[in-house]
Chains A and B, each alone.
Chain A
């Protein structure tokens, strides 16, 4: 009697663990895992209409957690979604482990390669040529500013004239000093992240040489980005707000700083956070023109049970037509080259930013962009450099002292 009961319990337990794996409605279920705002929701429904056998669910996680989870799921070979988004700061860590991903070359990659600029394609590829990521968006770089605050300082407010205030970053800092003199209660920019990323993003060689060696110590371009940012911060131009912190969001909404270097995806964030200040914001060109901060890729982990369907979905989501629509809905700027002279993009304006021609501004910035190689730990090293600038803001260290600590941190990440 007792043993039969036990057997029964065991059977129940086994059934319970066995259930849940099957696609019991006869459809193929695909999971897409993203972070932030990819704007894919309406596209999923359309894809399901075009492909009735597919059902798509999305998981959205905080950016840092998303990438940690992905790494854990890849290392344990279980739990990853069928399509996983990867951001610029992490892409090299994953292209270093191409065995964990499906190679898009085996699923029609070569035929669609020309959709992307060479650098975007290369950044999603491993050293041996396997392609693990298809480009979604690029950041580009522009300068968002508050018209009312510049006006208070007696500076021009029309976007072409504003862009002409700062052909170079040195001019930008000089303008900031003038601004600060006349409007002492408002900072000129938000915090160290955007200005530093703006300057570094324009350099041909960044934190890494092309072969995964960290060159923070020896590359004069990194030191230049540091020196300019440190100078701006030391001059008191910064609102001392860490990007995405509560102070930073409050600063956007309340106009505690006059300018912020903004990639395209950030403009959507500003429009949401500063909704009460609609009509006061505008966009001009960034000092040094081009540049990039951010942008992502879609990958398909090797552990997926449906590699063909998952790659097909990733290829469709990153196709130029879909990228153009996502730019409409979320301001994520397309990485598809053909769109850069397409009226769909060029004629797009943003009501929030005073009808600024955002399509043309970001298309210009992405065309002027100098591709820069991102190594495996770019994200971490950039975070340590921005910490260094924060130390100067906080008065913990002099710029020289802080730079010595940055080098020590960079060595630990080499």
Chain B
């Protein structure tokens, strides 16, 4: 009897840890170890195929700070991040607000909002690549009908980054909208009823009730979108037809793409690792800045 209860106590204490253990084991192998190994690699002149690697201390990091192409990639990433995230979150908010109303076949509408997100990114990029094609693209065809003239989407900095931002918005708006929708459904209905009695318009209800009520969710999506936006890789890579430089003038090369170029075409693993760590630091900074901005908004309203 005693033995049984001791086992029972052990079970109650240890079991929860056992349940979460698989995640931490996998994380240690595929997350933590590579993470810290990258620190080690970043201190070497580490050619991928060489047998020996030379210790060079922080030289990779100092080289990075003077590397024009790296900072060009940082700037491009931030520009695409702003171009993609702001419309994405605003559109998602409006979409969620619309989905939150009584609709026929609500599940169908909600499912279709998620469709772009479960489509393969390669397929999305190929379709958009054709939309934004220079000679045979649909958009240029329509512009031609309007007699506006063709746009060489890939050639320009603004046009190429706009095209990539459109792909990201297309992919992620529905997903974010569903997160907002879940939060909106937790807002008590009587708040709206009371506001309606007081004569508040739909827009006033949206601004004064919905948005404040789901603010924590908005903070969450802003941070998640920032982190994802800082790591954009597939869209610019495929938009450029597989070119690792992101256009002839690196006009749409993102940080991840630069990392890919250095690591997997130039095989400078030490340098790529250093870039990965600076990128990590920049993501933390960007997420923090956004968090502070959003929380300031909270205090103001």
Contact = CB atoms under 8 A, between A and B. Distances in A.
Interface stretch (A239-247, A258-266, A337-345, A350-358): A239-247
Contacts of A97: 49-51
Interface string A369-400: 00000000100100110011011001111000
A408 B49 contact: no
Contacts of A64: 242, 265
Nearest to A247: B135
Interface string A228-255: 0000000000001010011100100000
The number of chain B residues touching the other chain, given as a range, is 20 to 34
A93 B152 CA distance: 35
A99 B136 CA distance: 48
17 contacts: A68-B265, A71-B267, A72-B48, A97-B49, A97-B51, A245-B241, A246-B133, A247-B135, A247-B136, A250-B136, A383-B243, A384-B245, A388-B248, A397-B249, A405-B249, A408-B68, A413-B266
Given A71-B267, A383-B243, 4 more contacts: A64-B242, A97-B50, A99-B51, A396-B249
A387 to B, nearest CB: 4
A396 B69 contact: no
B248 A390 contact: yes
B59 interface: no
Nearest to A246: B133
Given A246-B133, A247-B136, A396 B68 contact: no
A142 interface: no
Given A246-B136, A250-B136, A93 B248 contact: no
Interface in B242-270: 242-243, 245, 248-249, 251, 264-267
A394 B266 contact: no
Contact of A75 (B49, B69, B133): B49
A75 B41 CA distance: 14
A74 interface: yes
A116 B249 CA distance: 40
B92 to A, nearest CB: 32
Interface of A: 64, 68, 71-72, 74-75, 93-94, 96-97, 99-100, 240, 242, 245-247, 250, 377, 380, 383-384, 387-388, 390-391, 394-397, 405, 408, 412-413
B256 to A, nearest CB: 16
Given A68-B264, A247-B136, A387 B248 contact: yes
Given A97-B50, A99-B51, A380 B248 contact: no
Contacts of B264: 68, 71
Interface string B259-284: 00000111100000000000000000
A36 to B, nearest CB: 14
Interface in B34-81: 48-51, 67-69
Interface string B150-172: 00100100000000000000000
Nearest to B129: A246
Interface string B130-151: 1001111000000000000000
A242 B241 contact: yes
B249 A387 contact: yes
B49 A93 contact: yes
B47 to A, nearest CB: 9
Given A242-B241, A394-B155, A395-B155, A250 B48 contact: no
A391 B265 contact: no
A412 B69 contact: yes
A396 B136 contact: no
